[in-house]
Copies of this chain bind each other. A is one copy, B any other.
Amino acid sequence: MTSEQTHDKIMEATHTALCKQGYGGLTMQDIANEAGKSKSLLHYHYDTKADLLVTFIEHLLDDFEDRVAVTEDASPQDRLLSFIEWFIIEPHEEERAAFHLALLELRAQAAFNEAFSEQLRASDELLRETVASIIREGIGDGVFYDVEVEPLAAMIIATLDGARTRQITLSTDWYTETVCTQLISALQTMLFVDSEVVTPRE
């Protein structure tokens, strides 16, 4: 098996192991077991556990960039709505919930690890800029009010992140769904020029 293939297998195994054990309970042995390889092999490819995990986050961010970069040619409203709905974790998506839970633990470690921190800041920037560019486009098209773009983008991301965090940490089903609906309704009032929904504003 080539180094490349092994690398991919280890990344995949890390993902699976993280979902099963969480970040706190994750051991090199767990990853090795998932990969069907020996623990020593992990140390052959990566010096330390921290190195392996930094590589894993980089790998995640690369994936994520690819997925975000796929810009459909829909209207700004639709693109914004799709973006928001993309955050919803449905009750049956257990693996996704487990993974975001592990990611939450990992994010909390960023304060103690500069390499983690760097990656996470980049992903934050990417998320906010993705939303900001949709809003800017909408303003340019005249379909969104001329709001302050960056703060609104930050609020949208914070709201979605908060809802997801609460859904997975409190083991509730409804948080992202409820909050996304509410957020969309708020945006229709404050952002969408031509809102089909009857709103308090007039």
Contacts and interface: CB of A to CB of B under 8 A. Distances in A.
Interface of A: 22-25, 101, 104-105, 107-112, 117, 120-121, 124, 145, 147-148, 151-152, 154-155, 157-163, 165-166, 168-172, 175, 178-179, 181-183, 186, 189-191, 199-201
B117 A108 contact: no
- Kindly list the 5 A-B residue pairs having the minimum CB-CB distance in the complex, ordered from nearest: A162-B162, A158-B162, A161-B162, A158-B163, A155-B182
B168 A165 contact: no
B158 A175 contact: yes
Contacts of A172: 121
A197 B188 CA distance: 18
Contacts of A178: 151, 154-155
A117 B170 CA distance: 6
A107 B169 contact: yes
A84 to B, nearest CB: 12
Contact of A171 (B117, B158, B169, B189): B117
8 contacts: A101-B111, A104-B108, A105-B105, A151-B181, A157-B162, A160-B162, A186-B186, A189-B190
Nearest to A147: B200
A111 B110 CA distance: 21
Contacts of A181: 151
Contacts of A24: 24, 105, 108-109
Nearest to A201: B189
Given A162-B158, A190-B189, A190-B200, A120 B179 contact: no
Contacts of A165: 107, 161-162, 165
A111 B186 contact: no
Contacts of A148: 182
Given A107-B165, A108-B108, 9 more contacts: A22-B108, A147-B200, A154-B163, A155-B159, A158-B162, A158-B175, A159-B159, A161-B162, A189-B190
